[in-house]
Chains A and B, each alone.
Chain A
Amino acid sequence: QQQVKQSPQSLIVQKGGISIINCAYENTAFDYFPWYQQFPGKGPALLIAIRPDVSEKKEGRFTISFNKSAKQFSLHIMDSQPGDSATYFCAAWTYKYIFGTGTRLKVLA
């Protein structure tokens, strides 16, 4: 019940395309859902986050869509760029952070 399931494991997108990464959870006590971006050799960095009282949050090219009834949330990267190539982790927080397994995104130039 403390797991966060993330898919796909890897994703290849053409420059300018839309990247979509999905996460699902079981524990309804989770009340904060961040996405982290990690470049090789670096630690994860917060990209965008949402709380379950809203269904969508947008920051620039990055959007989180949240479906409370389905217990799913997703990250959409619009106009994907080669610089977006990184590993993305979803996470969920109740009294501690639980991370998904990561999605390795490669954006082709």
Chain B
Amino acid sequence: EAGVAQSPRYKIIEKRQSVAFWCNPISGHATLYWYQQILGQGPKLLIQFQNNGVVDDSQLPKDRFSAERLKGVDSTLKIQPAKLEDSAVYLCASSLGPSGELFFGEGSRLTVL
């Protein structure tokens, strides 16, 4: 069974530029999550989708971050404009349901210069 796919794996941008990350969850997983993992910290939930609806985006900085999940499958996380403090690994995860086991992708490492 294929795991959670993410791209790109690495991205380096200047501050104030924009960036987009893509995630393809495990087939059949209704719940999709984006987490931000800053070096030395645990993953912090940015947004949770159930199918193509948003369940929780309380910690998403909505002035610069946006996310969508088209047709309840793939998802894109966008940052515009990026700040230095956005440097982190962005992890996508999926689960069968809201309380199911999380399956993480390998992450997208963002460096903002």
Which residues from 85 to 112 on chain B have a C-beta closer than 8 Å to any C-beta of chain A? 91, 93, 98-99, 101-107
Chain A interface SS verdict (over half): strand
**Which of B43-51, B64-72, B73-81 forms contacts with chain A?**
B43-51
A to B contact number (C-beta, < 8 Å): 46
A43 with B107, Cβ < 8 A, contacts A89-B42, A89-B43, A99-B44 known: yes
With contacts A93-B99, A95-B98, A96-B56 known, is A43 near B104, CB below 8 A?
yes
- Apart from A46-B101, A100-B42, A101-B42, list 18 A-B contacts with CB within 8 A: A36-B102, A42-B107, A43-B93, A44-B43, A44-B91, A44-B102, A44-B104, A45-B104, A46-B103, A89-B42, A89-B43, A91-B42, A95-B98, A96-B56, A96-B98, A97-B102, A99-B42, A101-B40
Interface residues of B (CB under 8 A from A): 4, 40-45, 48, 56, 91, 93, 98-99, 101-107
Closest 9 CB pairs of A and B: A43-B104, A99-B42, A99-B43, A101-B42, A44-B104, A89-B42, A43-B106, A102-B42, A43-B105
**Given the known A-B contacts A43-B4, A43-B107, A45-B104, are A102 and B98 also in contact in the complex, defined by CB atoms under 8 Å?**
no
Bound-state Cα–Cα, A56 to B104, Å: 26
Q: Collect the chain B residues with CB atoms within 8 Å of residue A96's CB.
A: 45, 48, 56, 98
CA distance A29 to B41 in the complex (A): 23
The chain A residue with its CB closest to the CB of B98 is: A95
Q: In the complex, what residues of A have CB within 8 A of residue B48's CB?
A: 96
In the complex, the answer to whether B41 meets A42 with C-beta atoms within 8 Å is no
Binding site for B on A (CB under 8 A): 6, 32, 34, 36, 41-46, 49, 89, 91, 93, 95-97, 99-102
